[in-house]
Structure 1
Amino acid sequence: MPSWNGTDLGAALRAAADLVLNAQAAGGEASSGADPGTQPRTQIVLISDLQSGARLDGLQGSTWPTSLPVDVRRVTLADRTNAWITLPRGSGAITESVFDTESTSSGSSSPDSADKQASDVEGAFRVRVMNSGNSERAQFRLAWLKADGQPAAVPPRSVQIPPGQSLAVRLPLPPDDAVAIELSGDDHDFDNVRYFTNRPPRSQTVWFLGPDATEPRDSLLHYLRQLSLDTAARVITFAHHAPDAGPPTGLAGPLVAADPRSIPLIFATGSIDQPTTEALLAYVRGGGRLVYVIPAADEPGGVQPTLRGLLASDLVTVTESQVSDYAMWARIEFAHPLFAPLSGPEFNDFSRIRFWAHRNLSSLPEDCQTLVAFDDGSPAIVERLVGQGRIWMFASGWQPQESQLALSTKFIPLMFGLLDAGRLDAAAPERLIVGEAFPGIMAADPSAIEIERITRPAAPIGRLSAVECSDSPGVYRLRSEGNEEQVAVNLRESESRIEPMATDELQRLGVVLGTLETGQSTEQRERQLRDLELESKQTLWRWLLVGVLALLGLETLISGWVARRGLITSVG
C-alpha cells in the first residue's frame, strides 16, 4: 500500500527475489520430475520512476541469482521541477544571530558545512532549500504554517535557487503559533512542508559535588565551566557544592528528591559521607547520571568507602598507579553510546592523550562494565547501571595536573556523551523520520503515554504501547502523568530526490536485467519457429524437385544424343 515511508528499492528487490527462490526451492513452480525445458521462466517486473533518492543498500553484500532477471519498466514524470526544505541535523533549527543568506552548490557543499554557515547567526531560524538538478524553475517562496494548516501572520519570503544548487537561508524567528515551514512554486507538493517543535529551551543544572582547587590547572570544575553544553532544547548552568558547606540541599530541595529532568548530571569527587552517597544512589535509580572522578588514593579521608558505597561492593579496592612516564587509553568500547559518536576513523585516535597519574581499581562487581582501559590493563572508565540511571567512575581526572584530556578535542564530545548518550529520562527528540518509533517520556510505562496529532488532521493516535511508529508527517503531542513533550515527524529527505537514476546503477550492483516473456509472445515465438522449420523443409523439397527435373533433362539430352548417333551409323 502507498505510505509515507522512505523508498527502499534494494530491500524490495531482494525480498521479491527471496520469495521466488523460496517458492522454487519448495517446488512451487514445477514438480521435480518435470522437464526443465518445459518449465516457465520466472522474472521480476519492476515498475518504478527509479528516483535517485531510493535506497539500494539491500543489494550490497549479496549475489543476485543469474537465473532471475529483472524487467525494468520506467515511469517518466511529466513535471520535473522539485524543490525541498531541509532542517539542520541536531536538536533544533533556532539559532542566535541576524538575518542573512548564502548560496552554495548542492554538488560541492556538504549539508554539515552549510549548517555551520547557517548557524553563525543570532535570533534566526535556519533552513536549507535545495533544487533538483533537472528542475525547470528557480523561484520559490517560504511561509510559516500553523497547526491547522493556515499561513501564519508573516509575509512569505522569496528565494531563488538555480537547478542543482542549494541555499542556506536564515529567517527571522517563527511566530509562536507556527509549527511548520512550507515551500511553494514547484511541481510536486508531497515534500513541501517541514515540521518542527516550536518550544523554548529547558533550563537545567549540572552539579559538581566535592572540593575544587583554586589553581585552574588542578581544578576539574574549571574546565567544565569552560564548556557550553547548551542546545536549542536546553540551557545548562553549573553549580558547585563544597563538602564543608553542609549537606547538599541546594539541588532544588533535598538531594534525595533531585529531579533528573532539571538536574540531568552530577559530577562528584573526593570523600562522600554515607547519607550523601545514599541520596546520590536514589537520584541515579530515578534516571539520573553520576560521574565520580576518583581522586588520588592517598588523599586525606580516603575514597575507598565512597567507592564501595557507590558500587555496592565491600571488595572493591583502589590504589595509586605508579606511572613511570605517562599512560594512554588502549582499549575503548566504541560500540557503547558514550563513545559511538567518536567511532569513525577520523575521530577514534586517542593515542595523543597522555595521563600523568591514575588509580588502579580491582575486585569490581560483576554489574560493572569497563568502557576504557589504560595500556597497563587497569580500568580507566567504569560504568554501572543502577535502576534507570548510570554511574561512571573515572580513574583519572581531566585537569592538566593529571592528564591532557581537558585540552584535547575529545573532551567536548565526551562531556556531551555523559549528558546525552542513551538517556532513559531524556525528553522526546525534536524530530523523527516517518517510520521511526515514538520515544517514551521519563521512562514512563508506555501504556500510560497518550499520543495525539496536533497538526491537521488533528486526532488522538492512541497509547504508546499500541502504536509502533509514526506513519505520517506532522507534529505529535505525548502526555503522561503531567509530563508533556512534542515531537515533529517529517518525510525522509531522500524522497525529495526524484530525478531518475541510471538503469545501469542496478547492473552495477549485480542485478541481472532482462525482458519479461509473456505467454502470447512465447506462442508467437513458437509459431515463428514452426514456420521457419516448415519453410526449411519446403526449401529442401524444392531443391529435390529441381534435382529430379535436372536428371530428367539430362536423361532426355543423353537419349537424343544416342538416337542421333545410331541414325548416322545406319546411314553410313
Structure 2
Amino acid sequence: MSFLFWAFLGGTAAVAFPFLFHLIRRTPKGRQDFSATMFLRPSPPRLTRRSRLDHLLLLVLRAAAIVLIAMAFMRPFWRAADEMLAEPPGRRVALLVDTSASMKRGDLWRQAMANAEKAIGELEATDDVALFAFDDRLRPIVPFDRRASVERNEKRTIVREKLKELSPSWAHTDLGGALVGATDALAAVADDSPKDAPATSQIVVISDMQEGAKLDALGAFEWPAQVQVDVRPVIAARSSNARVALLDDDAAALVPGEPRVRVHNAADSATEQFRVAWAKATTGERELDARAAPFYVPPGQSRVLPLPRGKDLADADRLVLLGDDEPFDNAYYVAPRVQREIRAVGIGRDAEDDAQGLRYYLARALSETPRRKVTFDWREPGGELATLATERPHLVCVTDAVSAAEGEAIARYVESGGAALVVLRDAETANSLAALIGAKEAKEHENPRGTREYAMLGQIDFSHPLFAPFAAARYSDFTRIRFWRRRSVTLGDESQARVAARFDDGSPAIWQRSLGKGTAHVFASGWHPRDSQWALSTKFLPMLSGAVDRAGPRTAVDAALTVRESIPLPAASRVTAANERAAERIVQKPDAARIVVPASATTFDATDEPGVYRYSSAEDSWSFAVNLAPRESDTAPIEPAKLESFGVKLGRHLSQSEQAQRDRQLRDTELESRQKIWKWLIVGALCVLGMETLLAGWRSRAPAAPLGEPA
C-alpha cells in the first residue's frame, strides 16, 4: 500500500492521548473533618506511585479510531506492478550565449560564464545540449547530436571547453534572429533523430537583455508551441552609459569648420555630465582632458553641439567621450581627411578667360578646396590623345568635336577603367563621340534667348548619384533652369545607359553610360550662357563637383559603416605574371593586421572591430572608418516578458527525473481517486467509534458494589 500524503502520518501521534488519559488517576485534592468521626481511628487511602492501564478494550477502540482517521487523510491506494509508467524522454537544450559588444561591460561576461556553467550542471544524463553564440548572427559552436545514444557526459565536457574559448565581439545584438535560428536547429534535429532520442525542446538564453537588441525577426515568425525559452539575464553593476557620434564633417557643417557632435544618454543612466574631444591615436590623457568640451545630457535624451577640430588636429580620426562609466562605446572613428589630387585632361577649344565658354565655368566650379585639388591639362582636338590609356588621368572632359581616331582613343581610355565627362556643344560633337555616348542620332534644337520658347528638365531620377543630393523636397525644384540650345539625342540601346534626367519633350538630358570598366557622363546641353542658365543655378556646383569627385581617387569613405558591414572595393587590375605584385590589394585593420584581398573580391567583409581601416593598391589608397552600431549603446535592460508579445513561450521544461516524479504523482492521484480506500477507512473509524460509545455507556451504567463488599 502507498499513500499520497505522508505528512498526515504525524496524526497517528494522537494515539498517545488515550494512553495518557487512561493513566490519569483521581486522588483526593482536599481534607474535610466531620465531628462524627472524631472518635474513629484515621485510615487514609493507600496510594502507590506505579500506575496501570484500566479499561483496555476502550483504549484499543479509541486508538484504532485515531489511526483509521489518520490513514484516511493520508489517502492510501494500492499500486500494481503493471501500472508502472514508462520512462519519460530527455530534453534537447539549446544554450544561447550573448557575445555582442554590450557584454564587454563590467563583469557581465563573468556572470554569463557562471550562468552557462550552472545551466550545464543542471543537465541530466538523457539531455542533449548544443552551444550557440550570437551577436548580429547565430553561430553554432557545438551542434546537436543526431544519434540516439551518445555519451552525454563527454559532450558536456566539450561544451565546457568550447565555452571557455568564447569572448564578446564588437557586433550588435540580434536576439530575435538568434531565437528563430535556434528554433530552426531544434526542428531540424527533431525531424532527423530516431524515436528514442530526446523529445522536449528547451532554449536557454544568457544575455544582458539590452533595449537595443533587435527583435524584428520574431515579428513574422510563428513560435512553435513545444519550444520554451528560459531567459537568464546578467545585470551590470553600473547602469550609466552614453554614446557619441559625428553628425556632419567639416565640409557639410552648418558653420564651416564646426562639425556637429551628438551625445546620447541611456534611459537608465545615473550620469548627466559628459565631455567630448577630438583625438588621434597618439593623443595623451592630459591633452585629451584639456581639449574636452562639456555636454549636459539628461537620461534618455540627446544633445547636439558644434565641436571644432582645431588646426593641430585637422587629421584627428576619432571623437572620445569622457565621464561615462562604460568605455566600450566611448570612441567614434572618422576617416582622416586628406586633400585629393585629381588629374584631369580637358579637350576643347575654349580660351581660359572666355566667360562665354564651357571651360571658364568648369575651372571656377572646380577650384581648390581643403579636400580636393583638380589639375587640368587642356588640349585642343587634333592633339596627342592616343596615350590617354597609358597616362591614366582620373578624368577626361570633352567639350568639342573630335576626330574618329581621337574618339577611339577616348573610348579605349574609358574601357580601361577611366571616367569621362562629355558636354555636347553641338550635334557634331555628339556624332563624333557616338560610340562612347551610345548615340544613334543627334539633332540640334535652338530657341531664341529671351523668348518663352525654352526647354526644362521634365523627368529626374533622384536615385542617381548626380541628383541624390537634391532628393529632399526643398532642393528638388529644377524648373528655374532654362535651356535655349540643346541636342536631341536618340540612344541606340537605352538598356546600356542610365538616364538621370530628361527634357520636357522626353529626350535624354543627362545620362550615364558604362563602357568596359569605365563610365561616361553625358550632358546634352552646355552650362554656358549661350545654351542655358545651368551655370547660374545653385545646383550647378554641387552636381559638377559630385561628378568629378566620383572620378577622382578616394582618400576616405564618407559612408557611416558599422561593424561587419561590407564596403565595396574598386575592381582589381588584371593579374598577369608581370604585374602580380603590383595588382595586390591590401587592407590594414585597426590592430595593424594586414589582409590581402583576392583579385576576384568586390567587397571587403572583415570589418569585425571599430577603428580606421586603410585600403591600398597600385591604383589608389584610401581610408574608411568602422564604428559600433548605435543601437548597441542602448543598454537599458528590458523585461524578458517583452518576448511574450511576439508569441515566445517563456518557461522551463522539466528534466527527466522531474517529469518522472510529476508523472508518478499524477498516476498515484488517479489510482487513489479510482480506489477511494479512504472512504472505507472513514466508515471503519465510525464503526469503531460507535462501538467505543456503546461500551463506554454500558460501563457507566454498571451497578455499584454493596457496602462492605469489595467493588
How far, CA to CA, are the matches of 1:321 and 1:216 in structure 2? 24
Closer, same or farther in 2 for the Cα pair 1:530/1:187, shift >3 Å? farther
Aligned alpha-carbon RMSD (Å): 4.9
User: Hey, what does 2:69 align to over in structure 1?
Assistant: none
How far, CA to CA, are the matches of 2:687 and 2:474 in structure 1? 91
Any conservation in 2 of the 1:285–1:386 contact (CA below 8 Å)?
yes
How far, CA to CA, are the matches of 1:20 and 1:424 in structure 2? 52
User: Hey, what does 2:185 align to over in structure 1?
Assistant: 19
2:473 paired with 1:319? no
1:526-548 deviation per Cα after TM superposition (whole angstroms, max 9, x unaligned): 3443454355447x444466679
Shift of 1:469: 1.7
User: Hey, what does 1:28 align to over in structure 2?
Assistant: 192
User: Hey, what does 1:101 align to over in structure 2?
Assistant: none
How far, CA to CA, are the matches of 1:229 and 1:5 in structure 2? 41
Q: 2:399 aligns with which of 261, 266, 269?
A: 269
2:437 paired with 1:307? no
Of residues 210-219 and 7-16 in structure 1, the stretch that sits farther from structure 2 once superposed is: 210-219
Q: 2:274 aligns with which of 140, 150, 173?
A: 140
Q: Match for 1:191: what amino acid?
A: D
How far, CA to CA, are the matches of 1:429 and 1:224 in structure 2? 25
Shift of 1:79: 0.9
User: Hey, what does 2:234 align to over in structure 1?
Assistant: 75
Q: Match for 2:342: what amino acid?
A: Q
Any conservation in 1 of the 2:401–2:429 contact (CA below 8 Å)?
yes
Q: Match for 1:131: what amino acid?
A: N
How far, CA to CA, are the matches of 1:339 and 1:295 in structure 2? 22
Q: Match for 2:489: what amino acid?
A: L
Any conservation in 1 of the 2:295–2:303 contact (CA below 8 Å)?
no
Q: Match for 2:294: what amino acid?
A: V
Closer, same or farther in 2 for the Cα pair 1:199/1:304, shift >3 Å? closer
2:424 paired with 1:289? no
Of residues 431-440 and 334-343 in structure 1, the stretch that sits farther from structure 2 once superposed is: 334-343
Unaligned stretches of 5+ residues in structure 2: 1-165, 576-582, 691-711
2:191 paired with 1:65? no
User: Hey, what does 2:648 align to over in structure 1?
Assistant: 512
Q: How many residues align?
A: 502
How far, CA to CA, are the matches of 2:378 and 2:293 in structure 1? 53
2:263 paired with 1:129? yes
User: Hey, what does 2:334 align to over in structure 1?
Assistant: 196
State the secondary structure of the residue aligned to 2:308.
strand
Closer, same or farther in 2 for the Cα pair 1:316/1:526, shift >3 Å? same
User: Hey, what does 1:473 align to over in structure 2?
Assistant: 610
How far, CA to CA, are the matches of 1:304 and 1:86 in structure 2? 48
How far, CA to CA, are the matches of 1:482 and 1:383 in structure 2? 23
How far, CA to CA, are the matches of 1:522 and 1:400 in structure 2? 88
1:198-237 mapped onto 2 (5 Å cutoff): 198-204=336-342, 209-210=347-348, 234-237=371-374
Shift of 1:390: 0.5
1:34-53 mapped onto 2 (5 Å cutoff): 40-53=199-212
Q: Match for 1:86: what amino acid?
A: A
Any conservation in 1 of the 2:584–2:596 contact (CA below 8 Å)?
no
1:326-345 mapped onto 2 (5 Å cutoff): 337-338=465-466
How far, CA to CA, are the matches of 1:408 and 1:544 in structure 2? 105
Unaligned stretches of 5+ residues in structure 1: 96-114, 555-572
Closer, same or farther in 2 for the Cα pair 1:410/1:434, shift >3 Å? same
2:562 paired with 1:433? yes
Any conservation in 1 of the 2:338–2:555 contact (CA below 8 Å)?
no
1:232-286 deviation per Cα after TM superposition (whole angstroms, max 9, x unaligned): 6x32558595859x7489xxx97566544xxx44443342334543443344234
Q: Match for 2:239: what amino acid?
A: R
Any conservation in 2 of the 1:53–1:497 contact (CA below 8 Å)?
yes
How far, CA to CA, are the matches of 1:341 and 1:513 in structure 2? 47
Any conservation in 1 of the 2:345–2:377 contact (CA below 8 Å)?
yes
User: Hey, what does 1:371 align to over in structure 2?
Assistant: 499
Any conservation in 1 of the 2:336–2:556 contact (CA below 8 Å)?
no
How far, CA to CA, are the matches of 2:345 and 2:445 in structure 1? 28
1:400-419 mapped onto 2 (5 Å cutoff): 414-415=543-544, 417-419=546-548
2:613 paired with 1:489? no
User: Hey, what does 1:391 align to over in structure 2?
Assistant: 520
State the secondary structure of the residue aligned to 1:392.
strand
Any conservation in 2 of the 1:142–1:157 contact (CA below 8 Å)?
yes
2:165 paired with 1:6? no
Shift of 1:448: 0.5
Any conservation in 2 of the 1:450–1:464 contact (CA below 8 Å)?
no
Closer, same or farther in 2 for the Cα pair 1:428/1:524, shift >3 Å? farther
How far, CA to CA, are the matches of 1:506 and 1:231 in structure 2? 53
1:330-363 deviation per Cα after TM superposition (whole angstroms, max 9, x unaligned): 6666665555666788887878977666543336
Any conservation in 1 of the 2:414–2:420 contact (CA below 8 Å)?
yes
Shift of 1:141: 4.2
Q: Match for 2:192: what amino acid?
A: G
Query: What is the identity percentage for the equivalent residue pairs of Structure 1 and Structure 2?
Result: 34
Closer, same or farther in 2 for the Cα pair 1:322/1:276, shift >3 Å? closer
How far, CA to CA, are the matches of 1:152 and 1:176 in structure 2? 19
User: Hey, what does 2:663 align to over in structure 1?
Assistant: 526
How far, CA to CA, are the matches of 1:15 and 1:352 in structure 2? 55
1:489-532 deviation per Cα after TM superposition (whole angstroms, max 9, x unaligned): 33333322222346565455x34232121315534543443454
How far, CA to CA, are the matches of 2:620 and 2:389 in structure 1? 21
User: Hey, what does 1:566 align to over in structure 2?
Assistant: none
User: Hey, what does 1:186 align to over in structure 2?
Assistant: 324
Any conservation in 2 of the 1:197–1:488 contact (CA below 8 Å)?
yes
Closer, same or farther in 2 for the Cα pair 1:379/1:14, shift >3 Å? farther
Closer, same or farther in 2 for the Cα pair 1:204/1:23, shift >3 Å? same
State the secondary structure of the residue aligned to 2:607.
coil
How far, CA to CA, are the matches of 1:529 and 1:411 in structure 2? 83
State the secondary structure of the residue aligned to 1:22.
helix
Closer, same or farther in 2 for the Cα pair 1:463/1:552, shift >3 Å? closer
Q: Match for 2:169: what amino acid?
A: S
Shift of 1:459: 4.3
State the secondary structure of the residue aligned to 2:320.
strand
The structure whose Rg is larger is: 2
Shift of 1:171: 4.1
Closer, same or farther in 2 for the Cα pair 1:257/1:269, shift >3 Å? same
State the secondary structure of the residue aligned to 1:170.
coil
Shift of 1:6: 2.6
How far, CA to CA, are the matches of 1:161 and 1:305 in structure 2? 64
Any conservation in 2 of the 1:425–1:441 contact (CA below 8 Å)?
no
Give the TM-score normalised by structure 1.
0.69
User: Hey, what does 2:585 align to over in structure 1?
Assistant: 449
1:374-432 deviation per Cα after TM superposition (whole angstroms, max 9, x unaligned): 565544444322233211233345568766766777656644553456x6953452674
User: Hey, what does 1:112 align to over in structure 2?
Assistant: none
User: Hey, what does 2:73 align to over in structure 1?
Assistant: none
Q: 1:54 aligns with which of 193, 205, 213?
A: 213
